[in-house]
Amino acid sequence: MPVWLRPVLFILFLLGSWQLAVFLHPHQLLPGPWKTAGGIADLVRHGLLVKYVVASLFRVTWGFFLAVIVAVPLGLTIGWYRRAEMALNPILQILRPISPLAWIPIAILWFGVGDLAAVFLIFVGCFLPLLLTVINAVQGVPAVYINAGRNFGLSSIVLMRKILYPAIVPRLMTGLRITLGVAWLVVVAAEMIAVNSGLGFLIVDARNAGDRYDLVLAGMVIIGVVGLLLDNGVRSLERAKALRWGYSEEH
CB 126 within 8 A of CB 178: no
Query: Buried b vs exposed e over 165-200: b needs ≥16 C-beta within 10 Å?
Result: bbbbbbbbbebbbbbbebbbbbbbbbbbbbbebbbb
Which of 41, 34, 6, 40 is closest to 19 using CA atoms? 34
User: What pTM was estimated for this model as a whole?
Assistant: 0.82
Specify the range with the lowest mean pLDDT, choosing from 6-20, 198-212, 237-251: 237-251
User: Where in the chain are the domains?
Assistant: 35-239
pLDDT for res 240: 64
Amino acid 124: pLDDT = 92
Stronger pLDDT, 227 or 2, i.e. the higher one: 227
Q: For 49-72, what is each residue's pLDDT tens digit?
A: 999 999 999 999 999 999 999 999
d(CA 205, CA 161): 48
Q: Are 39 and 212 in contact (CB under 8 A)?
A: yes
Pick the CATH number of 35-239 from 1.10.3720.10, 3.30.420.40, 3.20.20.70, 3.30.465.10: 1.10.3720.10
222 and 40 in contact (C-beta within 8 Å)? yes
